[in-house]
Structures are given as structure tokens and as C-alpha cells.
Amino acid sequence: MSATIIDGSAVAKTIRAEIAAEVASMAAGGLAPPHLGVVLCGDDPASATYVRNKGRAAERAGIRFTLLTPSADSSTADILDLCARLSGDPDIDGMLVQLPLPRQIDTGAVLEAVPVAKDADGFHPLNLGRLAAGAAPPVLPGTPLGCMELLRRSGVPIAGSRAVVVGRSVIVGRPLALLLVNADATVTVCHSKTRDLAAVCREADILVAAIGRPGMITAEYVKPGAAVIDVGTTLVDGRLLGDVDRASVEPVAGWLTPVPGGVGPMTVAMLLRNTVALARSRRPAPIP
């Protein structure tokens, strides 16, 4: 048996078409299209690529996109000023500051300057807190939400299953663990101090690798038939590598997301979905 490869690019394309249809229906109802504002500070090439992809995907879906590009030597105050500009602009529905920020900038202060009503990335503590409380916030962090969509749309059973998430970052591991708990999985979160990681991972019906160590998850970590979600993306000699050693895992797993073409495209699609949700909440409700 060989794993079913989950085609994240195809799923993301379907979702982007659904979003474009929703934006078109807003326009047909006389509502202004959603508007996303992004701050990209500095000249990190990976960040520039991610932001370019977000902009292109937004515009193709009919979402307006405004990009602010302060220089790499900007101060925290400079970035806070730009955040205030976007948050105070009534025409902007959702906003985000691309991470990582240059070292001299206080990332925590900048993230706190994104108001919850415009939190396109879903990183605002109120939204994360709602998730931890078992509620469904209007927006959720894109990568974890994308993983959940891939599981659901691939027919992977979630309720009652054992899920293991390797990685506990605020942008991936922690919110994904909460989403899985809220979907009735029994969840274990692992990290660099976890003892006998392979044995813990082998208990998983759903195994998520969000580590940033290319090829670390080999067949030894995988229960036969498990769904393996590879979030990792590390650029090595110009090639994007995941955390999963596909050659050894594919014959063992039941489902597997590839890198590239798995979780990555879903992150962008979920950002667009968040932007539309924020815009919807700021427009008058349709008349029944």
C-alpha cells in the first residue's frame, strides 16, 4: 500500500474559486470588495515571495490588496505608525504584518497593534483565546486552518482519533492542537524536549510535523495507515524541503501531504478566507 497524496494545490485552487464566487456575490449585492493591507518590512527574499503570492492570490479572487514596504532599517515606531494607518483606515478590512521582522523591531508590540477586528492572520490573543476556550473565532491562523481543511476534504476521520502535533509554535503547533481538540481528536503536542518522540508519533492516527527539520520524520515515526501532514518548509540549495522523509513514509502512511504543493498553498487560501470573513462582518447584512 502507498499513501494517498493530498494535493494541497488543487484543494487550495477550489477554495480560492469558492472565495472568488463569494466576493463576486458581495459585489452583486452592491457591497465593496474586501480589502487586505500588508506591511512587508525589509528585504528577506522568502518573505517577499510569500507576500507576492498573497497579493496575486488576493487580486485573482477580487480582493483589493495594499502593500506597505518600509525599509529594513525601520524602527518599531515606524512600523507601529504604519499599523495605525491601516487600522485607522475605514477602507481596510483585514491587515497583517509579514513575519519575521528585522531584529531591531519589537515583534510583540507590532502584533498587538493589529486590532482584533482586522486580524487577517488570526494571531490576535483574543482570537487565540477564543480558540482555546473551545469557541469558533471569526478568523483562525491560516496554516493550522489549512491543515484541518486538508484532513476534512480528504475524508480523514478526526473525531475520536489520536493526533500528535510535533511543534508548539504560536503560529502553527499550538493553534492546530486546539483545532484538533475542538474537532474531538485526542491530542498530544510534542517539542524538542519530548522523550522517545518516535514512539509517541507511532501512536498517531493523524501525525503533524511542524518542526523545520528537513526529512526528520521517517517511517519509524509513522503508524501504518496514519494521515501525515507535513507543515515544514526549509529551503536547502534552492529546494523547498518538508519535515517528512517522503521516500520512507509514503509506503507506510495512509495519507500524506507533499512539500511543495501540500499545506503551503492552503495557508494563502485561508488568509483570503479570513479577509472575506472580516469584510463580511464590516458590511451591512444582506436583506433576506
DSSP state of 117: G
Among 37, 94, 173, 254, binds ligand NDP (CB under 6 A): 173
263 lies in the binding site for ligand NDP (CB under 6 A): yes
Let me know if 9 is exposed, middle or buried by CB neighbors in 10 A (0-12, 13-18, 19+): middle
Active site residue ranges: 54, 98, 121
Whose Cβ is closer to ligand NDP: residue 162's or residue 213's?
213
Q: What angle do CA 108, 74, 89 make, to 5 degrees?
A: 70
Number of residues that bind ligand NDP (CB under 6 A): 25
Q: Tell me whether strands 239-241 and 234-236 are parallel, antiparallel or unpaired.
A: antiparallel
Among 74, 127, 233, 257, binds ligand NDP (CB under 6 A): 233
Whose Cβ is closer to ligand NDP: residue 69's or residue 194's?
194
CA distances from 100 to 46, 85, 146 (A): 10, 20, 20
In angstroms, give the least distance from the CB of 44 to ligand NDP.
13
For 64, other C-beta atoms within 10 Å of its C-beta total 18
In angstroms, give the least distance from the CB of 160 to ligand NDP.
25
Among 4, 9, 169, 182, binds ligand NDP (CB under 6 A): 169
Find out whether 76 and 105 touch, Cβ atoms under 8 Å: yes
Which range binds ligand NDP by CB under 6 A, 13-21, 60-68, 229-237, 278-286? 229-237
CA–CA separation, 228 vs 209, rounded Å? 8
Residue nearest to ligand NDP (CB): 169
Q: Which spans of this chain sit near ligand NDP (rule: CB under 6 A)?
A: 143, 166-169, 171-173, 190-194, 197, 210-213, 231-234, 263-264, 267
